[in-house]
Amino acid sequence: MNRRQFLAIPPALLAASLIPNSAEAAGGRLLFGYGRTGLGSKLALSALDIFEKHSIYPYQLENVPGRSTFNATDSFLAAAPDGLTILQTQSPSLNMLPHIHSNISYDPLKDLRPLGILGEYTIALTLGPLVSKDVKSIDDFVEWVEENPESRYVGFTQYGSPGHMAQLVLARGKQVAIRPQAYRGTSMMLEDLLDGTLAAGMVITGNAIEKFQSGELRAIAVTSKYRHPGLGWGAVKTFNEQGIPSTNISGWYGWFAPADMADSLYRPLYYKVQKMLSDPKFREIQKEFSLKSVISYDTVITQRIQNELEYYGDMVKEYRIGKVS
């Protein structure tokens, strides 16, 4: 290559090509703040298989659970902003937990730069075999709880999560004396639902799909503003449709770069992620995990985080959810 050919290379592509060969050989890391067996990790692994077609070098999933996903974010921000470390996070870490945790060490708007949204999920009010099959709506469930007060526990995972919020909205919206039952992980809640220990739980769509398809688990309502698409979810009515108006609780998975990453490195990485998201095979992954495809441009994501911070901040105040340290 002569000097004229070298100078003709676009700066962004040139920067990407100058990453050291040792880094290319080693590959990059996708950090995620939950365990290896959950829905988010399965999504990450499937996405990375497609991302590898569009990336210069492969990325490996690295699970860093603990401290309500803060360990993963702290590790991510401590890494060099060279494009070799990406963060996968769920939206509550950006729009809910900052209102609830007093020791949060990052600002979701100042420290993270969006690469893309992998898909949006909603929360399903889910019944296990303990509840009569005649219960097919929220009002039916409320009546059942009043007749079976010993089984009025409704499960959710993680304090300050969308499921936690949904349980509070349900209790107030229907003036029913349900009791919250917090779990450290979704798998434990699903086990209790399936064995009849727990009557109902707030479950992220995409979890235990085979159990919903077999009828062992039944969704009677979703918390999103509109019905959720895909794999039978379109038949499940929203909270709004069942007498709890103005409910709009959902979540999403996103990939992020550090805010201090040079634009010459960020832009090529951002475009590669966008190519992955538009890949037909990735659309199939979204269907597999019951995820809704949404607009995923960086400026749109930033505005969405801002809007959701305000929305959930108001909800935290309204329901008097206490801070934790």
At residue 2, the pLDDT reads: 39
Q: Which pLDDT score, from 0 to 100, does residue 86 have?
A: 98
Q: What is the arithmetic mean of pLDDT over 80-93?
A: 96
Question: Do 3-120+251-318 and 122-242 come out as alike in CATH topology?
Answer: yes
pTM for the whole structure: 0.89
Q: Which CATH class is domain 3-120+251-318?
A: alpha beta
Q: What is the pLDDT of residues 213-257, one digit of tens each?
A: 999 999 999 999 999 997 789 999 999 999 999 999 999 999 999
Helix (H, G, I), strand (E, B) or coil at 132: coil
- The beta strands (E) that lie in 241-315 are given as 250-258
Q: How far is the C-alpha of 203 from the C-alpha of 58, rounded, in Å? A: 32
**pLDDT bracket for residue 132 (50, 70, 90):** very high
For residue range 100-131, list pLDDT tens digits in order. 998 898 999 999 999 999 999 999 999 999 99
Asked whether the predicted pLDDT for residue 68 surpasses 90, the reply is: no
Predicted local confidence at residue 173, as pLDDT: 97
Q: Give the fold, CATH level 3, of 122-242.
A: D-Maltodextrin-Binding Protein; domain 2 (3.40.190)
Instruction: Return the domain boundaries, the chain.
Output: 3-120+251-318, 122-242
Distances (CA, A) of 88 to 63, 68, 250, 255, 266: 10, 14, 17, 5, 16
Neighbours of 207 (CB within 10 A): 23
Which residue has better confidence, 75 or 24? 75
